[in-house]
Every structure is written in C-alpha cells, then in structure tokens.
Structure 1
Amino acid sequence: MRQAAAPGPVLRAENLSRVLEGEVAAVLVREASVEVHPGEMVAIMGPSGSGKSSLLYLLGLLDRPTTGTIWLGGEDTSGFTDDQMARIRLEKLGFVFQFHFLLPEFTALDNVMLPMRRLGRLPEDEQRERARRLLAELGLEGHEHKRPGQLSGGQRQRVAIARAQANDPLVILADEPTGALDSHSSLVVRDTLKRLATEQGRAIIAVTHEPRFAEAADRIITIVDGMVQPEGTTF
C-alpha cells in the first residue's frame, strides 16, 4: 500500500533555525533550507556537533524550529498543535535510530504492529499480515515470533526498519542507523534503505558519519556549525 507521491518535493524546509535560549544562546541550526523528493536517499554529514541530528529532528517534526517553515506532503506544519504534530508523524513519517528501541518484551511481529495499532487505520488481521510481509521483505521470515534479545544487531535494525514502514510513510528518517553495527550488517542496512527509495519510491533522510553509507545516497547534505553548506562541500 503506497501513498501517491505528492507533486514536487515530499518534504521542504525553508530558513530553519533552532536556537536554545540561555545566558548564552546556542544556535543548533542556522537558516537551513532543504528539499527531498520521493525516491531519493539523502545523507546528512558533518563534523561531530555540527547540527546533523538537530536538523534531522526538525525535519522529522520531533522538534520545532525557532524560525522557518516545514512542508510535508505539501502541507505547512508551522501552525500545528502538539497533537497534530504527533498525528502527522504517525501517519507520514517513519523513524530509525542508532539503537533500535524495540520493546524487549514484544516479538518482532508485535513491534512492527505497534505504529499500526496506534494509528488504527487497519483491522487487526490486516495489521498482522502487513507486519509479516514487511518482515519477510527484509529477510526476516521465520523470525516473526522472536524477541529482540534473540536477534542479531543487524536483524534488530531490520525489524526497526520494518516498523518505520508500518504506516506507509512518505519519508523515513534515520539517525546513524548503522552506527552500532558491524561492517557487514551496516552494508545490509544501508542497502535495505536504498532499496526502499529506489523500489518503493520512499524518501530516505539519514544522518551518517560513514563514507560507505553516504556513497549509496543520491545526494549529500553537509552541515557545519549548524549551516547547510553548498553542494559538493566536504569537511
């Protein structure tokens, strides 16, 4: 079940800044403008502390910008209430983090079903069938009833990717998704995310410090001292 791609960029941000007020204001992101299109895998790179994750959290509507505007699927999110923000995240965004954050007492199948249960769009039997299919597409057929502690690190991260797809999001955002994995598992996760972009038309935005991960991206956004750099800039 794929949503129809919105015309133009699926996610667009203009002049985003994030400032933490205090005795000395900390500027996490400075006037960043970003566009991401359906079927595109974008890597965000930069030095440690440069604002990579801060930018990702703004784009993923997990944090609110101090200034600037974010459109998701053509919809201006700037006036949304907290409840509206939570709803649009659940409906249109999927998240993968460095540490999988799977619930240890739940099976892989139940972990993938969690976002579907929260959204309530599908009946229970269709949720279960969709979760099975997503796990099978990621090479996890036969592991549906295992708990996270019974899976390898790479398998756990693939369960997290299946969970991120649960509600058929427009965009999947990943924060160092291979940072806790060995080199082989890192490549599997990287290639899995790339395949979601090329074969399913999902937009993928991933923060990474790994050049091998970034090589698979269609485009690299470099951020230094909170500022998005001109395309082609290295650090």
Structure 2
Amino acid sequence: MHTTTTILLLLLLLLLLLLLLLLLLLLLLLLLLLLLLLLLLLLLRLLLLLLLYYYYYDYYDYGYCDYYYYYYYDYYYYYYDYGYSTTTRLRLLGLRRRLRLLRLRRRLDDGATTTTTTTTTTTTTTTATTTTTTTTTTCILCYHHHHRRRRRRGRRRRRRRRRRRRRYDDDDYYDYDYDYYYTTTTDYFYYYSTTSTTTTTTSTTTTTTTTTTISSATTTTTTTTTTIHSDKKRIQ
C-alpha cells in the first residue's frame, strides 16, 4: 500500500511539474508575442515617420508649386540655428501632430480638387473650317511654412526656466535655453494653371455646342476666347 501511494504521489508531483512547465512556456510565448508586437509598432511608427518626412516635410512638388521654408531670425543675435529643422520638429512634435497635419492636408486636397472648365465651340458649313478650342484650368494647392524665431526681451534664471518649461500651443514653442520664441505658421493658397489647345480641321458634320463646368475650389476665374478665321489659321 505504501509503495502504491508513493508512486501515486510521485505521479501527481510530475503532473504538477509538467503543468507548471507548460504555464511557464505559455508565459514565455506571451512575452515573446508582446515583444514582437512592440517591435512591429516601433517599426510601423518609424515607417510612418519616414513616409511623413518624405511625403510632407522634405521636398514637395505639387504640379507647378514647390515647398518652401522661410527662416527669420534676429539680426542682433549672430547665432543662426539649423537645429530646429524638419527632423527635430518630427521628434519634438511627435507622430500625432504629423498625422493631424497630414489629415488636414488631405482634407484640403479633397476640398480643393482639380477644377476644370472645358468649352467646345464648333462652326459647321459645307466645306468650311471647324475650330475647336479646349481650355483647362487646374487648381493646385500650395503650402508655405514660415518658421519664425523672435528674441524674447529679458532673461530668466536657469532654475526658474527649468521649472516653468512648458509647451505653448500646437505651433508655438519657447526655447528657454536660448531665450527664443518659435512660431510656425502655414499659408494655404491656390495656384491656377491654364492650358489651351486649338485644333483646326475641315468637315461637313453638324455638332452642337457643349459647355461643361466642374468647380470645387475657392475662386476660379477662367476666360476663354474662340476666334474663327476663314483662312484656316491656328489659334494659339
């Protein structure tokens, strides 16, 4: 009897040890999965930052518009700082600010989609000249970012500066180390490019006059002038 009970106790202990080992393995697997998820999140964040850097902050060419930086600094102070550049701003402002600006830009792009005005005029006679003039006006959204650095009057002590270090609004930062006040403003404006195409042919068909206007931007002014010459000259 004693031998059977000892064997049963040993078997129970072995089962308990196996269960503990299985639990430890499951915990290790969960920890590994969490680490992998964290690594994936970090990689995704890095990828998003790189995409935002190249897509939004580096050099942006939208049709006929370029992306500009303007730097203003106090001419009494001869220290010109390149540290407050795009990569530093990405680190300072973080991903949330970048995503919010990107969403704003997408919303502005959606609200200022291409505005096209097409006018087709056809003159028909028996062996006469048919002139077709197509004028396309494209609305292009441009961005100008002004990084302005103004010198603050008066100096504070370093201890007080460290205590009162805080962030201002979304676009305003105060650097207590150099006693400067940084502001960043963004100007959104529209640029319109007009392309005219004139085709002169000879036909005997009858065509109606069609005018199609699609407008979804702020203000568009389009002037189309169509002149028909009897000597078959091309209109530019």
State TM-score, norm by structure 1. 0.20
- Greater length-normalized contact order (CA 8 Å, ≥ 6 residues apart): 1
- Bigger Rg, which one: 2
State TM-score, norm by structure 2. 0.20
